[in-house]
Amino acid sequence: MPAVKQTPLPTFCQTVEVGDELLLVETAVPMDLKFILDRAKQWNQELGFIPAAGIETLIKEGRCLIACVNGDPAGYILTSGGFRTPLVVRHNTVEESLWSRGIGKALVKCVLHWSRWTKRSHLLIRTRQDIARQRAINENLGGIVLGHDPHVGVRGKLVDIWRVDREPVLSANAE
């Protein structure tokens, strides 16, 4: 059965204030692939494995946002689905040296804002049960656990499916 090609999402570019830093969040381009693959490989035990070809396809379809601080990549958020199916966050990762600055939360808020193009009122976020920092982001954004992914575990850990609703008037600025 041939793979279903997804309709590309519109490009995204927004400057977000995170603490006292400005974060540039924009649609990833093929030039960002090395950074994203390096991080995906580094964190695949926490995030789950997606083959390089799959990540490259999602980037080409415009389903990945990359965050930069002072012109350097700081993290990315990778999604799938969107028009006929729910928009699903597959990866949300930030450079370890930049943790606890609100970048991961800002990336989720940007995807919520960006998702208005999919005509969806919410997004789904796949999160391992034992990753407290991601669970905290989901909870802080008003997310609720819908259940567990019955077929997929990452290194034997259960993956929760969270629903996070888009706010009526969304500010992507991290709090």
Task: Give 25's strand partners.
Answer: 14, 67
The half-sphere exposure of 141 on its side-chain side, counting CA atoms within 13 A, is 34
Q: Does residue 67 sit within a domain? A: yes
45 in a domain, yes or no? yes
Element (H, E) at 127: strand 122-128
Single pTM value for the model:
0.82
**Which residues in the chain belong to E strands, given as ranges?**
13-18, 21-27, 64-69, 72-80, 88-94, 122-128, 144-154, 157-165
The answer to the question of residue 86 being in a domain is yes
pLDDT: which is higher, 109 or 45:
109
Q: Using alpha carbons only, how large is the chain's radius of gyration in Å?
A: 15
Q: Domain count of the chain?
A: 1
For residue 69, being part of any structural domain is answered with yes
List the domain range (segments joined by +) for residue 30. Answer: 13-165
Cα 119 to Cα 51: distance, rounded to the nearest angstrom: 28
7 within some domain:
no
Is 131 among the domain residues?
A: yes
Q: What is the CATH number of the domain that holds 85?
A: 3.40.630.30
Assigned domain for 42 exists: yes
Residue 175 domain flag: no
pLDDT tens track for 36-94: 999 988 877 666 778 899 999 999 988 999 999 999 999 999 998 876 778 899 899 99
